[in-house]
A = this chain, B = another copy of it.
Amino acid sequence: MPARKTNPDFMTGVPELLILRLLSTREMYGYEIVQAIETASGEAIKLGEGVVYPALHALEEQGCLKSRRKPVNGRTRVYYIATAVGKKRLSDLTGEWRRITDAVAGIVTGAKHATV
């Protein structure tokens, strides 16, 4: 009852942003993304597979990603990469992310907003 949060602070929308960012450069598969984010964030962000797979499916359905199956060592991987739509989306999301975080930083840092 000490307020157990299932949707942790400051994480909403972050998975989508990071996934689009990673896939805007090169082709990757789900399991790889999970670990890439963990590594690239210095362990600060760990996305479960329950976040990544549904996100990939949703993004593909929206036309932001396209996928292809590729057999590797007898095992099949599903590789995703961002489409033009996905890159546009990434650009929009990045701008939104900056807008919000800059605004929050301004207030939290006490910089108020100038001699008000």
Taken together as a complex, chains A and B put the C-alpha atoms of A99 and B97 apart, in Å, by 15
- What secondary structure prevails in chain A residues at the interface with B? helix
User: B106–A41 contact, CB under 8 A?
Assistant: yes
Chain B residues positioned under 8 Å from A7 (CB to CB): 12
Taken together as a complex, chains A and B put the C-alpha atoms of A94 and B37 apart, in Å, by 22
Taken together as a complex, chains A and B put the C-alpha atoms of A112 and B25 apart, in Å, by 12
User: B44–A100 contact, CB under 8 A?
Assistant: yes
Chain A, interface size category, equals 35 or more
User: B12–A93 contact, CB under 8 A?
Assistant: no
Contact (A45, B13) CB under 8 Å given A3-B62, A62-B3, A112-B40 = no
Taken together as a complex, chains A and B put the C-alpha atoms of A94 and B62 apart, in Å, by 34
Chain B residues positioned under 8 Å from A8 (CB to CB): 12-13
User: B9–A45 contact, CB under 8 A?
Assistant: no
> Can you show 5 pairs from A to B with CB atoms below 8 A apart?
A9-B12, A9-B96, A9-B97, A10-B97, A10-B101
